[in-house]
Amino acid sequence: MEREMPENSVVVNLKQFERSRRAQVSAEALSILHGCRDLLIEGTTRVLTRQSEAMENTLLAMADRSPLLDTRNSYYSAQGILNTRANELLSACKDAYCQTFNDFAHNREKPAGGELLELSLLDDQDFEITLVIDKATSRLRYNCAEELVALDARIAHLLSRSDLSENDSPLGPRVLCEALLDGISRMQLEQAIRIVLLNQFDLVLTTELAHIYQSINRYLIDRGILPDLKVGAKSRAQGTAPNSAGAAGPAPAMQGQTGGDMFKLFEQLAHSGSAAGGGGAGGASAGLAGFSLLDSLGQLKSGAMMLPGGGRFELPLLEAATIQNVLRSLQQSPVMQAASPLDAVLVDAVAMLFDVVFDDAAIPDHLKAQIARLQIPVLKAAMLDRNFFSQSNHPVRRMLDAIATLAVHLPDNEAGNARLEAISQVVSRVLDSFEKDITVFDSAAVELEAMGSLLEETLEEIVDASLQQDIAQIKQSERAELAPVIVHDFINRALNKEQPVVDALREFLRRDWAQLLTLDYVNEGEQGAHFNSHVETMRELVWSVQSKADMDARLMLVRILPGLLKRLREGVAEIDLPQKLSDRFFATLVILHANAVRPNAQPVPLPDITPEAIEELAPAPTAAEAATSEPESEAAPEVEDEFNLRARALNKGDWVEFHYDDGTFRWARLGWASSVKNTYLFSDQDGMNSFSISQLRLADKLRRGEAVLVERKSITESAFGKLMNLFRQKLGHA
């Protein structure tokens, strides 16, 4: 609702003035515009119809994982709407968009709720809807940036409207999202269900909308609307291919020079009028004379920014737990009408950086809130130092990366709260002291990096100490599992075919001595002194009963025999071999040794004993002992996939986020990995609690989404990689 101005008022209602200044859309332009409308809404509804079943499956899966009853019911209700009323829903969305489009085409204004003259407080529900619309719009615009640059330019040219902003374009993502929400609202659904449905529509359109915008650009080119503008009409695969000439590109530049090149890119973008925000017609003007956005940003520290003409602008208040991209508010404010096109590009670039950071699920909300406090200082630093966008070791970027890296060291306890408070104090010092000296960020980055290094070293020491007992238990458990196979192999090598052994000795080694080797291996491993001593005793025993044809061999037997018999008696005592079996074995051994030293004489026969008698004397073998007679068959190898490869590639010190059925999650640090059975031992953020998991089980959790690898890479490097590609695409340089 517009207020009538008094007749003697000297205040000009800019909205009425602008509306009266607009030219009526010609019939030819209106026809082309309607064609664009049909391509957009028909393509959108076609995509949503095709993906309806996929959205239903997604909602059911989300409902199954949700720990909250209300949230789960919202997912189920939204799935039910898609299952039973999808056609009605999409028809309502189509009608809502067409109505919005027709209002624009006939210069009918939006409802008065958006008028700047009538400000009112939003209730929680309206605020939530606004946030959902903003996020959906930002995601779609980000993924369709190249196509929208061209489309916005063509629509502005078609309508002769240099003042047409990206959010007011009838074909833009914001108008589309608002119309979709309007159509959903016409179904008389609860707000939670409306938000769920809009989010699902947005996720589907994120990957599909660019193709629709490409078709609209081609439609406009065919009708002579800026046919020489070469971006936005080709598919990404074609549009991003390098030129055949000079495909290798220029040689790498020094970092400072690269920063200059990037800044030139922004200057070109500003001159082309592709930036969001001010700049006037075509974005080519220099902004309002006498106004400096950089100088004015300092006023926000003390309160409001004074605008030319006496106006005031205040950013939303950021409280301790607030996560809000205030730079987006700055973009939509009257400030940008006075700012230069280059300033508008820089604001958009830094705002996109914070969009990426705030969307990063690996950064907890309480840490994002600290990063959010730095938005205005980071914007000022970016405007002061062009190398901010190109140097990965820039002080501002190092500070942001250092804060994000500390996420894994902030457990939900007293220690974590103390560390968060220390981070908050560093951020506060930057806010208080930064004006134009970038070294303020350098000092903060050094302090935060030192904090991270100290926490990492301390955690390493705690984990190494606390995990020793667990590691020992896991190793022993793994050795117990492997012992039957290992012992069986050692006995087989001792009983080689070149040295024939009587059945009585073979039975003793496989049945009795194997027990001793198994105990040694489980307790000490293959390198243990007892295990190796008893293996050597076994080898000497086998050699001692072989025929000794020459005097040297006989003398050698005489020398080693006392020690061999002593070790054998100690061994059978250690395994509690029944006395009758022990006596019979040593009696048999006397005969075998006697036969060995007189090979040409008639051998003395061994005492007879039936298998039944041995079974009566010998204790029942354990499962491990029984397994020494036959090794376990190897399990079939696991089918390789990306999740197995990810699990196998983990290194000590890597972090994994584990999700549980009740909706909770925890971060765990890999403290040790077994090379024997591929068992991983993780500890919590304090290093005080631990748990083990096999590599295959971890891969399965990764596959199911119950575990997520925490990538501790530079958040600014990742964000600016996307950012630079996006801006290059805007100018057709990709």
Closest CA to 285 of 343, 364, 356: 343
Among 319-328, 417-426, 570-579, 705-714, the minimum mean pLDDT is found in 319-328
Residues in the chain: 734
The whole-number pLDDT of residue 618 equals 52
What average pLDDT does the structure give for the chain? Answer: 77
Burial class (CB in 10 A: 0-12, 13-18, 19+), 3: exposed
Which pLDDT band holds residue 599 (cuts at 50, 70, 90)?
Answer: low
Show Cβ contacts of residue 393 under 8 Å, excluding neighbours closer than 6 positions. Answer: none
Which pLDDT band holds residue 97 (cuts at 50, 70, 90)?
Answer: very high
Q: Which CATH class is domain 637-713?
A: mainly beta
Q: Does 571 score more than 50 pLDDT?
A: yes
Which pLDDT band holds residue 142 (cuts at 50, 70, 90)?
Answer: confident
Contacts 24+ apart (CB under 8 A), 550-554: 554/597
Q: Does 307 score more than 60 pLDDT?
A: yes
DSSP for residue 708? E
Closest CA to 1 of 112, 81, 82, 86: 112
Q: Does 446 score more than 70 pLDDT?
A: yes
Q: Does 731 score more than 50 pLDDT?
A: yes
The whole-number pLDDT of residue 198 equals 93
Which pLDDT band holds residue 686 (cuts at 50, 70, 90)?
Answer: confident
Which pLDDT band holds residue 282 (cuts at 50, 70, 90)?
Answer: very low
Strands (E), 561-606: none
Q: Could you tell me the two tokens for 718? A: 């990742």
Average confidence (pLDDT) over 284-299:
63
Encode pLDDT of 162-219 as tens digits. Answer: 767 777 789 999 999 999 999 999 999 999 999 999 989 988 898 889 889 999 998 8
Is residue 314 within 8 Å of 302, Cβ to Cβ?
no
The whole-number pLDDT of residue 733 equals 45
The whole-number pLDDT of residue 197 equals 94
Answer with the residue of higher pLDDT: 659 or 108: 659
Which pLDDT band holds residue 692 (cuts at 50, 70, 90)?
Answer: confident
Encode pLDDT of 216-228 as tens digits. Answer: 998 899 888 888 7
Q: Does 113 score more than 50 pLDDT?
A: no
The whole-number pLDDT of residue 636 equals 40
Among 35-39, 449-453, 619-623, the minimum mean pLDDT is found in 619-623
> Phi/psi at 187 (nearest 5 deg)?
-85, 0
Q: Does 11 score more than 70 pLDDT?
A: no
Encode pLDDT of 473-511 as tens digits. Answer: 878 888 888 888 888 888 888 887 667 788 888 889 989
- Cα(77)–Cα(3) distance, rounded to whole angstroms? 42
Answer with the residue of higher pLDDT: 585 or 278: 585
Helix ranges (DSSP H) in 385-499: 395-405, 414-433, 439-466, 468-494
Average confidence (pLDDT) over 314-324:
66
Answer with the residue of higher pLDDT: 222 or 263: 222
- Cα(94)–Cα(38) distance, rounded to whole angstroms? 10
Angstrom CA distances, 381 to 30, 160, 333, 436, 684, stand at: 45, 37, 21, 7, 37
Q: Does 242 score more than 50 pLDDT?
A: no
Answer with the residue of higher pLDDT: 586 or 726: 586
Is residue 341 within 8 Å of 278, Cβ to Cβ?
yes
- Cα(52)–Cα(161) distance, rounded to whole angstroms? 37
Encode pLDDT of 343-371 as tens digits. Answer: 888 888 888 888 888 887 778 888 888 88
Give me the residue spans of the domains in the chain. 20-239, 255-459, 470-627, 637-713
Neighbour tally for 656: CB within 10 Å? 22
Which pLDDT band holds residue 103 (cuts at 50, 70, 90)?
Answer: confident
Amino acid in the structure at residue 480:
A
Give the H or E element holding residue 655: strand 655-659
Burial class (CB in 10 A: 0-12, 13-18, 19+), 418: exposed
Closest CA to 487 of 529, 542, 534: 534
The whole-number pLDDT of residue 15 equals 47
Q: Does 619 score more than 90 pLDDT?
A: no
- Cα(440)–Cα(434) distance, rounded to whole angstroms? 6
- Cα(233)–Cα(239) distance, rounded to whole angstroms? 8
Show Cβ contacts of residue 412 under 8 Å, excluding neighbours closer than 6 positions. Answer: none
Among 69-83, 291-305, 477-491, 566-580, the minimum mean pLDDT is found in 291-305
- Cα(613)–Cα(618) distance, rounded to whole angstroms? 9
Answer with the residue of higher pLDDT: 133 or 3: 133
Average confidence (pLDDT) over 442-467:
84
Average confidence (pLDDT) over 588-596:
86
DSSP for residue 512? I
- Cα(33)–Cα(220) distance, rounded to whole angstroms? 9
The whole-number pLDDT of residue 465 equals 78
The whole-number pLDDT of residue 708 equals 86
The whole-number pLDDT of residue 212 equals 93
Encode pLDDT of 366-425 as tens digits. Answer: 888 888 889 889 998 988 887 887 777 889 988 998 888 888 788 878 888 888 899 999
The whole-number pLDDT of residue 94 equals 93
Q: Could you tell me the two tokens for 570? A: 């100690």
> Phi/psi at 692 (nearest 5 deg)?
-115, 155
Please identify which residue in the block is written with the tokens 């205005």: 376
Please identify which residue in the block is written with the tokens 């508008």: 344
Give the H or E element holding residue 691: strand 690-694
Answer with the residue of higher pLDDT: 503 or 614: 503
- Cα(282)–Cα(157) distance, rounded to whole angstroms? 10
Which pLDDT band holds residue 95 (cuts at 50, 70, 90)?
Answer: very high
Average confidence (pLDDT) over 685-708:
85
Closest CA to 36 of 167, 223, 229: 223
